[in-house]
A = this chain, B = another copy of it.
Amino acid sequence: MTEKTAKPKALTGLPSYLLTRIAHRYNQTIYAELRAIGLSTISTRIIASLKVFDALTINELCVHALAEQPTMSRALDRLEADGIIKRTVKDEDNRKRVVRLTGEGEVLFERIWPVTLSANEKMFEGISDQDRDVTMRTLLKVLENIRVHPI
């Protein structure tokens, strides 16, 4: 047997394994809670992104909500029909088409956000502020290293 590659000692020593497993678990848990109030994964991501950015183009929403354009368009059609988002133009001078939350969308955000914050706090239970800060700074740099979209 030719052994070209040493056997990895543990998958948990591999950053990608930890990151993928944490993200998967987090999303499974939180979207089970949000489904109970009638929200899908993509709807939740769209609503949270619009709350933070006020107005986003469909392309920008695809990046933040991690969806492809056809899926995004269908999700926006549903949210618009339910009165949660509206398609509009950025402003009178800039005719770029953007998406915004309606008043009803803002109300829904109030239900999403506490669930999101509480799930995030649970992740970092027992971790010092200093370790949390280093980790967040490092993850931001990791995202910069690998992202494809400049936003």
A residues neighboring B (CB under 8 Å): 1, 4-5, 7-16, 18-27, 29-30, 48-49, 51-52, 64, 66, 103, 106, 109-110, 113-114, 116, 119-120, 122-127, 131-132, 134-143, 145-148
Contacts and interface: CB of A to CB of B under 8 A. Distances in A.
Contact of A15 (B120, B125, B146): B120
Given A22-B146, A29-B146, A146-B22, A12 B140 contact: yes
A138 B146 contact: no
Contacts of A103: 1
A109 to B, nearest CB: 7
Contacts of A114: 5
Contacts of A106: 1
Given A20-B66, A110-B4, A113-B5, A139 B146 contact: no
Kindly report how many copies of this chain are found in the complex they form together: 2
Grouping DSSP codes into helix (H, G, I), strand (E, B) and loop, the A interface class, with mixed when no group exceeds half, is helix
Contact of A22 (B12, B119, B143): B143
A51 B8 contact: yes
A47 B149 CA distance: 31
Contacts of A142: 22, 123-124, 127
Contacts of A140: 12, 18
B139 A134 contact: no
Given A26-B146, A48-B11, A19 B19 contact: yes
